[in-house]
Amino acid sequence: MKIIKLLRWKRVGLSSTILFVFILALLNTFNSFADDYFPESQPSFNIQQQKRQIAGIVTDAKGEAVIGANIIEKGTTNGTVTDNNG
């Protein structure tokens, strides 16, 4: 008798779990459709990055090219490193 009750409990637990996962998947699908049909509910940002190319040679006090000098744009994290030619 205990074995039958235990098997019934496992079956109910498994079917409840499957139902729960199915409902979550269904809700996620509706959320995806809502994003497609109501794009105004999502924030929109129109930011354009300005691109500039800066060229030059980094030299030391003797006028020799500095290899591996860090060059960082002030106020940002944009940067680069000089090559063999400075």
3-state secondary structure of 62: coil
Question: Confidence band (pLDDT; 50, 70, 90) for 79?
Answer: confident
- pLDDT above 60 for 2: no
**Rounded average pLDDT over 74-86:** 86
pLDDT tens digits, 5-58? 555 555 556 677 778 888 878 777 766 666 566 656 556 667 777 777 888 888
Q: Are 57 and 86 in contact (CB under 8 A)?
A: yes
The answer to whether the CB of 69 falls within 8 A of the CB of 80 is: no
Separation of alpha carbons 76 and 72, rounded Å: 8
8 A C-beta contact, residue 59 and residue 82: no
Residues 59 and 66: beta-carbon distance below 8 Å: yes
pLDDT score at 30:
67
